[in-house]
Amino acid sequence: MSEEKNNEQAKRKVDYDFAAHERPLIEAWQEKGYFKRTPGFGEHADDTYTIVIPPPNITGALHMGHALNDTIQDTCIRRARMQGYRTRWILGTDHAGIATQTKVDKKLADEGISRLEIGREAFVEACYDWYREYGATIVNQIKGMGCSCDYSDEHFTLEPAYVKAVRQVFVDWYHNDLIYRGKRIVNWCPHCTTAIADDEAEYVDEAGHLWYLRYPLVEPVDGMDYIVVATTRPETMLGDTGVAVSPKDASKKALVGKTVKLPIVDREIPIFSDFHVDPEFGTGFVKVTPAHDPNDYAMGERNGLARINIFDEHAVVVEGYGEFSGMTRDEAREAVVARFEELGLLDHVEEHGHSVMTCYRCHTKLEPWLSEQWFVAVDGLKDASSRVVEDGSVTFYPERWKQVYLSWMENLKDWCISRQLWWGHRIPMFYCDECGWEDASVEDVEACPVCGVHVRQDEDVLDTWFSSQLWPFATMGWPEAGMDAPEIKLAYPTQVLSTARDIMGLWVARMVMASTYFCKEIPFHDVIIHPTVMAADGKPMSKSRGNGVDPLRLMEDYGADGMRFGLLMQVTGAQDLKFNEAKLESSRNFANKIRNAARFVMMNLDGYEPGAPDPVTPADKWIFSRLAGLVARIDGMFERYEFGEITRELYAFFWNEFCDWYIEFSKSRLAGDAADRAICQRNLVFVLDTALRLLHPIMPFVTEEIYQDLPIDKADAPYLIIASWPEASELARYVDADAERAITMVTEAVSGIRSTRSRYGISPKTELSVVIKADAHDVDLLEAQRQLVIDMANLSGLTIASDAEKPAESSIALAAGLEVYIVLSGLVDFAAERARLEKERAKLSGDAAKLEKKLSNPGFLAKAAPEIIEKDRAKCAELTDMLARIDGQLAEIG
């Protein structure tokens, strides 16, 4: 790490040792049992609030997606706990079939061992060793974030009870004809040698070619000796069993029913018509390879074509194809094209960009491959899963994801659930090779119930998403006690699921399918689809790009509170979140602001006597009214899961209203009359305490630390984590529109006066004369606060009138609907100030002109890096803004 980076990190940590203060609080909360199912209180004493964590992979470490999602979930569960719900956040990890097998394969390879050498049983044990060594890593990192999961009852998708649940689902669906085995096209990864779900395939744009190949007709038709097909995969022609044309293409009608002689393999194949063919693609003749393309497979089914698999599981050409046998896909492509050219059958080649599917784990190109697999017949599950979303039983936030879910469900095809792996839930199908008996069983079967000989179990394992679809109810005691399991009776369905959009189909939809089938109940009421965290330039974060951000480093630099608040502050209604680390720095500063404000209050509590708050002054009434409105707004935002808005509201209230103004208003009172001082102390403590409660779900550490020092009755809530959430209905009595208007006019008028001082370099100690123009109602409200304005703005004179006119040689500030005239006579040399501003304007104007010329140069835009262009555009916008402000000042001084 560079010295500059070291110095920067050291600078960041100077103010506060986050880890030293955060770890003891985590331990204290856990020791007190606050992370388990908490007892309820108040109006929600008998209500439960439960969240199941999206189980992270045992191969994983905390990344920015986890950090955002876990912050959202913890914010929800902490607020519910404070509202009096009986809360529990269920924790667990996923065995992550392909990911873990890949990791362990690599580990063994590094040791010079192959899983094929040690066998299945030893390899599975090696995977369990991996789980025991690395499974707790991400859980401990989540704990470090302050996440209040129930760590005393952690689950794992391969724990014995969970295995039984998965087997029960397979067996029930199999016996009810919802699971079947068939030979169909699947997405096959030649590297991982397993099937991959459609939803797990990643599409990559590729600059490819379109090869035009001549297929000779067996008998000439109207003088034609051959037809020309266009293909992006010439190597698959070895498995062609037909050529299709569109029934709408009249020019090819005479060829339907004729045959062509397939070059190289010398196979006669028919020409037929099918509605799937696009007559505008290529030549309108489409080669059909039913074993290596899902659309071709469907056409082959409709037209009775043979299905010939030309590749093995490694995408190598099988025996029977002469010199091509043993070639990889790429080698076969080159050789086939060369042979066509040699035979004079390569018509021509065109450039052609297209998307190719790749494995989400190893990024190998997937091969559409005909193989025998297990499938879920989803048509028997889709209706109920769609209906509960259509009728609002399951609600998506933001709402637009509802239609995405329904569209996905409508287009869902039968789900391939078998994987050719060793690590995972082995398919509970048992076979007798002696008499042909086979059946699914929850328990292992050793002997055939028909003939008594030893049986064998299916070699494949289930898709990881098949097991994780049971997560909400399999972690609560199903199927051992069914829907009578105590936790299910208490807490099912759960309240909230928070997840990313990329697994809405893979996981969310399947949980709904499984739950509505087996539990006759939805798994959760609300689904939060949080934005995907992108790099600052909008590109996906990844190791290969080197643009990932480590949440552990962020917590080290900014504290868990700073990271959590800073992340949520960046959440909007957009699908993506461009990560801005400066927001975390701002949030860390906010945490320090909270500490400093609390320190000020604590330092001014000499002689403090507890008592009920009492808003007696206009400033008291203003802050109490603002607080009441804040609580009501925050409650509404929580109902809509608008986390970014929540953070912005909290930030504005605490920093701008409480710290910048109310504490400032309080200083003179704390040094004055004893009775008023006592009232002011109680009001400060009340507002601080209420604000800490509102902040706690997002910033648990700093708020808990301060709460421990607050001089309030903690008999019912020794820790803030179980203190009651502020009640908007109780605070509603403090709402005072006139007080809010009056003090808002004071704060904005004073701010405008201070801004003018700063702009013209007038010392804060210099008294000013000010005239304020307002309407009649506001004149009365503001007149009552005359002394407050004078004191806060250090004025020698103040006139407030509805018919006020702008004095000569004065500046104007517009504030809260007021016109504030600041008299500058004798304080500003207008001629010198005008000369200075004009000189500064000339320089800025020249700089802006240079940048505008640069940005209008096509050569610069074509060659410069995007980040450089963006930086220059931002600078140009900044210069334009500065010029506008200078023009305003020039107009002001005349």
Binding site per annotation, positions for ATP:
543
Hey, is 710 helix, strand or coil? Answer: coil
Please, what's the b/e burial string for 143-168 (b: 16 or more CB within 10 A of its CB; e: otherwise)?
bbbbbbbbbeebbbbbbeebbbbbbb
Q: From start to end of 136-241, where are the E strands?
A: 155-156, 179-189, 194-196, 202-221, 224-231
Q: Where are the alpha helices (DSSP H) in 428-498?
A: 464-468, 471-474, 486-491
CB contact set of 219 (below 8 Å; sequence gap of 6+)? 258, 259
DSSP line for 577-603: EE--HHHHHHHHHHHHHHHHHHHHHHH
Hey, is 203 helix, strand or coil? Answer: strand
Q: Report the alpha-carbon distance of residue 437 to residue 451 in Å, rounded.
A: 9
245 DSSP β-pair partners = 273
Q: Report the alpha-carbon distance of residue 470 to residue 475 in Å, rounded.
A: 8
Q: Where are the alpha helices (DSSP H) in 273-369?
A: 294-303, 329-342
Backbone angles phi, psi at 147, to 5 degrees: -65, 125
Distances from the Cα of 165 to the Cαs of 147, 602, 709, 860, in angstroms?
27, 55, 48, 62
Token readout for 4 is: 């500059």
Q: What's the burial of 529, exposed, middle or buried (CB within 10 Å: 0-12/13-18/19+)?
A: buried
Q: Report the alpha-carbon distance of residue 559 to residue 20 in Å, rounded.
A: 10
Hey, is 828 helix, strand or coil? Answer: coil
Annotated binding-site ranges? 543
Q: Report the alpha-carbon distance of residue 702 to residue 695 in Å, rounded.
A: 9
- Asked if residues 472 and 493 have their Cβ atoms less than 8 Å apart, the reply is yes
The 3 state secondary structure assigned to 19-51 is HHHHHHHHHHHHHCCCCCCCCCCHHHCCCEEEE
226 DSSP β-pair partners = 216
Q: Report the alpha-carbon distance of residue 314 to residue 115 in Å, rounded.
A: 17
Please report, as a single letter, which amino acid is at residue 694.
Answer: L
Token readout for 237 is: 């022609």
The 3 state secondary structure assigned to 520-566 is CCCCEEEEEEECEEECCCCCECCCCCCCCCCHHHHHHHHHHHHHHHH
Distances from the Cα of 475 to the Cαs of 47, 54, 89, 339, 515, in angstroms?
20, 12, 11, 59, 13
- Radius of gyration for the chain, computed over Cα atoms and rounded to the nearest angstrom: 35
Would you give the DSSP letter of residue 617?
Answer: S
Distances from the Cα of 640 to the Cαs of 76, 404, 476, 527, in angstroms?
12, 19, 27, 11
Nearest to 91 by CA among 72, 61, 68, 70: 70
Sign of CA dihedral 336, 337, 340, 342: negative
Q: Report the alpha-carbon distance of residue 493 to residue 37 in Å, rounded.
A: 15
For the chain, the residue count is: 894
Nearest to 513 by CA among 458, 470, 462, 547: 470
Q: Report the alpha-carbon distance of residue 661 to residue 788 in Å, rounded.
A: 11
Q: Where are the alpha helices (DSSP H) in 713-821?
A: 728-731, 737-760, 776-783, 786-793
Sign of CA dihedral 341, 346, 350, 355: negative
